[in-house]
Amino acid sequence: MPSRVHRVPVLTLLMVLAVLAALMPLSAQERPANAPPAPTAEDYARAEGFLAPAVSPLVVGGSVVPSWLPDDRFTYRSTTADGARFLLVDPVKATRAPAFDHVKLAAALGAAAGGTFDPMRLPFQSIELSADGKTVAFDVEARRWSCDVAGAACKDAGQARGGRGGAAGGRGGGGGRGAGAGNAVNSPDGTRAVFIRNWNLWVRDVATGQEKALTTDGAEHFGYATDNAGWARSSRAIVLWSPDSKKVATFQQDERKVGDMYLVETKPRPVLQQWKYPLPGDEHVAMLHRVIIDADTGATVRFKMDPDYHRATLGDNFSLTDMTWSPDAAKLAFVSTSRDHKSAVLRVADAATGDVRAIFDETVATHYESRTGWRVLWASDEVIWYSQRDDWGHLYLYDLATGKLKNRITSGEGPVTSIIRVDEKTRTVLFTAMGREKGQDPYFRHGYRIGLDGKGYVSLTPEDGDHDVQVSTSGRYLVDTYSTCERPPVVVLRDLAGKIVMPLEKADISKLVAAGWKPPIPFSVKARDGKTDLYGMMFRPTKFDAAKKYPIINQAYPGPQSGSVGGRAFAAARGDKQALAELGFVVVSIDGMGTPGRSKSFHDAYYGAMGRDNTLPDQVAGMKELAQRYPWIDIDRAAMWGHSGGGFIAADAMFRYPDFFKVGISESGNHDQRAYEDDWGERYQGLLVKDGKGSDNYEVEANQSVAKNLKGKLLLAHGLMDGNVPPYNTLLVVDALVKANKDFDLLLFPHQAHGFGIDGPYMMRRRWDYFVKHLLGVEPPKEYKMQPAPAPVRPPGD
């Protein structure tokens, strides 16, 4: 007896098949008919050809680093396709000529030093021209050489000077035990240097090498000039030398009760790394006991005030830009920033007594920051102060004696971004600002001049583009380098009225274009509110076909201290964005609300909501608008990836927008600010507040709290030696995903720090593979071998 056949209606069968197809991963489905072709190993190789090591050397020239002479003349190294020459520019005469006879000098140097030198490929990058213009000096490896400009003769002038100098320590520092002279900070006159040894500050005579201790009461985790708080881990002494090279301003940093961070080195017998790493909400964080130390006697003057928090007016951790000496070294001005960054107090200390006077303070509802820094005008007893009190970053002039506002200096829309020069004699200030030139990208920097009384405002660099300005010794001339992401750099010399005195350089990108390079496409879209303009860049395959549908990948960084796009100046490569696009994607970056460079309200868009917002509403709105504008964008195959803060937003995107983002790659993400250094979270999320029920205001922002929402494909990656964002940030997310029974992928690099170092090419290849497999729906080339970055192929003359 034949078996009975159950007939299923065709419509029902089709519906079932459609549901099953929707549940299958893309790689198991039939690829869209108009999808780009599957990438091959040859495509991967072509993509590598758009990374910086390959394309940056194809840009020749377009750079001027002036070495100014007292009379405003300057020398610089000019690179062309034929080699490099050193030129001397006279702004008064508007002339530009060789600084010396290159052919004869090359011969004279060869005779004196031994060897043969190509006149257009001389073995030094900079020169020092004597005031009378008759001799030129330069370093060749370990020796200093001096030659007459006619090239008649060269002579040995002693030890090379390239590694000498430096008036103050840079950011970073710490250590104590085992630190030494290798991280010393030289005095302005170059005669001595200070360094840390066994938690104390020592001084060394540069000429004799003689060393002596300046302090003796430094103790473990209560050392002098250390900056080892959170992710800053270095042995460099954090000091500010006085102008007369007789004293240093520094601090004794108290971390004795601060909690520890631990990393374990992967070895047959694991090694524990342990250091002080305060976290948001900790009772004890790093505190600075400010001091001034006499470099001759070691006499220490302690400031008569409570210790300061390890904070800065800009950025996380302590910064030397928040201290400045008076010219006579009798006073030190500095800023104290509150733990939550909401208050900044300008103070002046007496260097002899340690007496401290508060001048004024600025307190804001969210966080105060100074994008330009501040300047004390000691001769007139005034200070230039940066404030966003009217929603834009502007400069204000205060009386240093009374602390009262005298007048505002700048005004209008568009934030001031840096102070280039203050001329106290003419009572003018040169500064850069953004968003002031109508019709241009608001992130372009431009140069301006204005009087300290707020009058005489002049736009110095109006041309469309991002401008980098360097000022002459007298302040009468400007070297202006400008470009866009599409147009290569042009360098001109200007006067103080902004008039072009003469052209200097223009970058040659003919080899870059011949290699197939195409510039990114700048664009603007509307933010979440449908009104605010956002700006970004788009990268398409160089073999773009408008008839195809390309998945869209958002390479994001949420800030709040920076954005996704980065600088707007010309660059041959921007990470691997173009390389990734070559594999069959449209890659975008968008600066969402909550990033700097615009108004204060724009920057504060997600203050206190670092996870729930994280610029994601803007990223999604912008991507959807682009897809409506360009039919070749497949918005149904949307992805995101990022590193560090970008790793935070990439995982956040997968958890909070699980139906929109299909694939995400999260590298080294700070997924929970409670597991990241105190300064970061407390600046942008506010102080940690517990609710009495076992939770706090940080929990809802942490990625592991929403990990259960994951639907798409997620790759997590972290270095186990990451002392910046400890790997426990990612492991917290891993734990939550496991508990939620979610599938995900994980890459751990046993020996890598925050940037992955030598494992970077492997991570890049795995990133490409992941998107090819899960967005394009095809298998990538099996274990494609990324080529190691070649030794820089320098342009001729370099």
pLDDT digits 0-9 by tens, 719-738: 999 999 999 999 999 999 99
Please count the structural domains in the chain. Answer: 2
Q: Note the pLDDT tens digit of each residue in 145-188.
A: 999 999 999 999 998 886 433 333 333 333 444 445 568 999 99
Q: What pLDDT score does 235 carry?
A: 84
In a domain, 230, yes or no: no
- Which SS3 state, helix, strand or coil, does residue 559 take? coil
Q: Is residue 212 part of a domain?
A: no
Residues 78, 149 share a domain? yes
Please give the single-letter amino acid code of residue 475: G
**Tokens representing 27?**
């790689």
Q: Considering the chain, what is the average pLDDT of its residues? A: 92
- CA gap 256, 199 in Å, rounded: 13
Measured in residues, the chain has a length of: 798
Provide the pLDDT for residue 228: 77
Residues 43 and 103 in one domain: no
- Rounded to whole angstroms, the Cα distance separating 430 from 423 reads 8
For the chain, residues with pLDDT lower than 70 are: 1-31, 162-182, 316-317, 788-798
Single out the residue of 490, 496, 461, 463 nearest to residue 477, CA to CA: 496
Peptide bond into 560 cis (omega under 30): yes
Mark whether 52 and 72 lie in a shared domain.
no
Residue pair 595/563 in contact by the 8 Å Cβ criterion: yes
Q: Which tens digit of pLDDT belongs to each residue from 70-126?
A: 999 999 999 999 999 999 999 999 999 999 999 999 999 999 999 999 999 999 999
Contact, 405 vs 420, CB < 8 A? Answer: no
Residue 506, CA distances (Å) to 99, 405, 489, 512 in order: 19, 44, 6, 14
CB 123 within 8 A of CB 162: no
Which H or E run contains 108? helix 102-113
Note whether 52 and 128 are same-domain residues.
Answer: no
| Residue that finishes a domain, picked among 139, 159, 179 | 159
Query: Looking at residue 388, what DSSP letter applies?
Result: -
Note whether residue 236 is domain-resident. no
Phi-psi region of 381 (alpha: psi -120 to 50; beta: other; left: phi over 0): left
- Do 129 and 52 sit in the same domain of this protein? no
Among 91, 126, 159, identify where a domain stops.
Answer: 159
Answer whether residue 140 is part of any domain. yes
Predicted confidence at residue 650, as pLDDT, reads: 98
For position 445, what pLDDT does the model report? 98
With contact defined as beta carbons under 8 Å apart, do 139 and 127 qualify?
Answer: no
- The answer as to whether 29 is a domain residue is no
Could you give the angle at the alpha carbon of 123 between the alpha carbons of 117 and 128, nearest 5°?
A: 115
CB 416 within 8 A of CB 393: yes
- Residue 41 sits in the same domain as residue 150: no
- 180, part of any domain: no
CATH of the domain at 652: 3.40.50.1820
Residue 365 lies in a domain: no
pLDDT of residue 615: 97
Would you state the pLDDT for residue 745?
98
User: What's the predicted TM-score (pTM) here?
Assistant: 0.92
Q: Does residue 48 sit in the same domain as residue 95?
A: no
Phi, psi of 578 (to 5 degrees): -70, -40
* Per-residue pLDDT, 19: 41
Residues 53 and 74 in one domain: no
CA distances from residue 591 to 99, 586, 594, 614, 671 in whole angstroms, order as listed: 44, 17, 8, 11, 20
Same domain, yes or no, for 533 and 596?
yes
pLDDT, residue 227, reads 83
Contact call for residues 551 and 632 (beta carbons, < 8 A): no
Task: Supply the angle between the helices 645-656 and 616-629 in degrees, to the nearest 10.
Answer: 70
Q: Round to whole Å and give the CA distance between 47 and 70.
A: 48
Q: Of 124, 159, 194, which residue is a domain's last?
A: 159
Does residue 129 form part of some domain? yes
Token representation of residue 485: 């992401």
Instruction: Tell me the two tokens of residue 224.
Output: 């002098």
**pLDDT attached to residue 162:** 66
State residue 33's pLDDT score: 77
Closest CA to 650 of 778, 585, 556: 556
A 10 A CB-CB count for 48 gives 21
Locate 205 and state its tokens: 């005579």
- Asked if 634 and 679 sit in the same domain, the reply is yes
User: What is the C-alpha to C-alpha distance for residues 143 and 125, in angstroms, rounded to an integer?
Assistant: 14
Beta pairing partners, 589: 537
Cα–Cα distance, 101 to 94 (Å, whole number):
20
The answer to whether 412 and 457 are in contact (CB under 8 A) is no
Phi, psi of 386 (to 5 degrees): -100, 135
pLDDT at position 386 is: 98
DSSP secondary structure string, 523-544? EEEE-TTSSSEEEEEEE--TT-
Contact present, 83 and 796 (Cβ < 8 Å) = yes
Domain range enclosing 72: 67-159
Whether residues 601 and 572 fall in one domain = yes
Strand 428-434 relative to strand 143-148, pairing: unpaired
Q: Which two tokens stand for residue 227?
A: 């900056």
Same domain, yes or no: 638 and 676:
yes
Which pLDDT belongs to residue 179?
45
Assigned token pair, 582: 């070559």
CB 517 within 8 A of CB 535: no
Predicted confidence at residue 131, as pLDDT, reads 87
Residue type, 58: L
